[in-house]
Structure 1
């Protein structure tokens, strides 16, 4: 009996030991399976020969938006991070100085045109006077009385015209005073006030021209009467009138040139007025705001910096030994660290002409001694979430037309 009990106890001990070992074996088997799975799914195979990999970060080309003219900033309508469309207003500058130059140019143009009109009227008068004087010189003494009668008729006509011009001037001055008061009270616009002033100025020039015609007619009458007694005087009078005519023609040329200069200044002021509104040259995102309302800036001073997020790219580096396989225009994929599973279509848009040492921000010292070449992968779209500064990975399809399946990304 004792031997049987000992045998039973030994069998029971062996069974218990077997039960303890079995779970350990199962755990070890699971660990081996897990290690194999990790190596298959995470360690993965080496990079396919048709692919060249690179790492870097997303970058973009920015553009400074500046005012074409100097001035004080009235308002800036965007802030950093704002998205804008092409043509959106970025900033508005004070227009008081430009308006002042515009008004000065307008006044100069009005004055030059008035001088031109007056000189042309005087030329017409002098031309007629020269004609009459020359005719008086050529005609015989018997026609002197007829010339006197004609000169008297011309004088009467000139005086009648002057009376009419003076009446028109009185009306223009009345309107000028009335509009000036109405502008002060705000009943009419400043433009209407300036128009009434311009009309009065032109009418004053017309009266002055009429006075000169009267004087010319009176002088012609005097000449005609003088010819009755001394025909020799008429010859010197012809020369004097001809000289006056030449002077008035020169005055026309001068006033016409002044008018052209004033028109140019007026057009320049109008163009500068348009330039006071600074607009976005393209759609993009405001990344910096370099000025604030109230600042006085010279022409060309950047106000904001825009970045076109639809034209961002991955800037990375390829080892010198692989760069010979990379060509401009090859298809590429970019993977953002924020969404490494999604491939963004891209292409090789630039390869640096010279190699360089691995950038200093490489994490492993041994890698920093390698020669690399900078490569730019241009994304075919901004996709709305590719932002400058994002760490990213890229791969270039250097052979074949089909992308191989790889770990992690696909």
Structure 2
């Protein structure tokens, strides 16, 4: 098979169209292979809150496990807001419980003592009314004195009824509407506390998945704006390979089809599975135009390695893919 002589240069991963397939014969191996490179889908870990970077728990190249601490931002204000929300919730719960229990025992005892005094006064005024009634019948007192005794007895009896009613009310819990209103206050306080705790948690982030720390973007002491990534991760499942095939081959490719990769210092070929085939044609870049290839079109293909082999591949690494 005739070998195409091409010159390859190192280009950034974003310039996908700058890589061309390479068809070559290799000894007695008549399988065509296609040139490509390794790329990574990075996970950029950022906080929704701004703050000074207090701690950076990882460094570039480090392997991390899920939930491993990555970084922490200064959180004095957020902790204070959390503590305030917690105290407001405790106060709202205590008030709801107080409404549901009625008056305290000492307050009930006071009402009972007042009722006993009123009952004693009512008995005295009732006895006085009986004596004055008897005296009035024999002409011993004037009617005005009898009327005063009758009004006093009625007033004392009314006072007894009033204090009995107050004692019954003291034993009752709060009104239903009042309890519902206070229960709503408790729910609102819980929501405020949950929001404060979530905001505080945003100041200390952990790794969402196992992987390699590809880069750290801030140093301790620097101000980190809200939403600005501090650490970029590369999980093994986010490593992929891009290679380019001619239009004569692209029609035969299928999603899930297997290919084998070869690269320098990779050891045994790395199996990958195709998960994307571009529908947009790309011209070969001018730097490798030749009489044989200047009119050819290529199509980008993306494939992912099996998880156990992903660690052998590194972003930017050139590879050669052979279709199975």
1:309 is displaced (CA, Å) by 4.0
- Answer whether contact 1:316 1:376 (CA < 8 A) is retained: yes
Q: In structure 2, what is the equivalent of residue 313 of structure 1?
A: 240
- Which shows bigger deviation, 357-366 or 232-241? 232-241
- Confirm or deny: 8 A CA contact 1:362 1:368 kept in the other structure: no
Distance 1:108 1:341 in 2: 63
* Displacement after TM superposition at 1:73 (Å): 2.3
Alignment of 1:346 onto 2:241 = no
Match for 2:154 among 230, 246, 265? 230
Match of 2:218 among 267, 280, 291: 291
Q: Of Structure 1 and Structure 2, which has the larger fraction of its residues in helix? A: 1
Deviation per residue, 1:18-48 (Å, 9 max, x gap): xxxxxxxxxxxxxxxxxxxxxxxx9757974
1:355 aligned residue (280, 283, 287): 280
Whole-angstrom distance in 1 between the partners of 2:239 and 2:286:
21
List runs of 5+ in structure 1 lacking aligned partners. 1-41, 126-208, 398-410
In 1, Cα distance between the equivalents of 2:180 and 2:313?
64
Q: Which residue of 2 aligns with 1:375?
A: 301
Q: Which whole-Å CA distance do the structure 2 matches of 1:110 and 1:87 have between them?
A: 31
Q: CA separation of 1:70/1:343 partners in 2, compared to 1, >3 Å: closer, same or farther? A: same
Is residue 2:81 matched to residue 1:101? yes
Contact kept in structure 2, 1:310 and 1:382, CA below 8 Å: no
Instruction: Give TM-score, length-normalised by structure 1.
Output: 0.54
State whether structure 2 residue 308 is matched by structure 1 residue 394.
no
Q: Which residue of 2 aligns with 1:83?
A: 63
Task: Give the C-alpha shift of residue 332 in structure 1.
Answer: 1.1
Change (3 A) 1:63 1:365: farther
Q: Tell me the number of residue pairs that the alignment of Structure 1 and Structure 2 aligns.
A: 267
* Cα distance in structure 1, aligned partners of 2:235 and 2:69: 17
Corresponding residue for residue 92 of structure 1: 72
Residue pairs, 1:59-208, within 5 angstroms: 59-67=39-47, 69-121=49-101, 123=102, 125=103
Deviating 4+ runs (over 6 angstroms): 242-247
SS of residue matched to 1:86: coil
Please say which of residues 243-252 and 67-76 is displaced more in the overlay.
243-252
Maintained 8 Å contact 1:309/1:386: no
Q: State which of 26, 35, 57 in structure 1 corresponds to 2:37.
A: 57
Q: CA deviation at 1:351?
A: 1.3
Alignment of 1:397-408 (within 5 A): 397=324
SS at match of 1:347: strand
How far the C-alpha of 1:63 sits from its partner, in A, is 1.0
When Rg is computed on C-alpha atoms for both structures, the one with the higher figure is 1
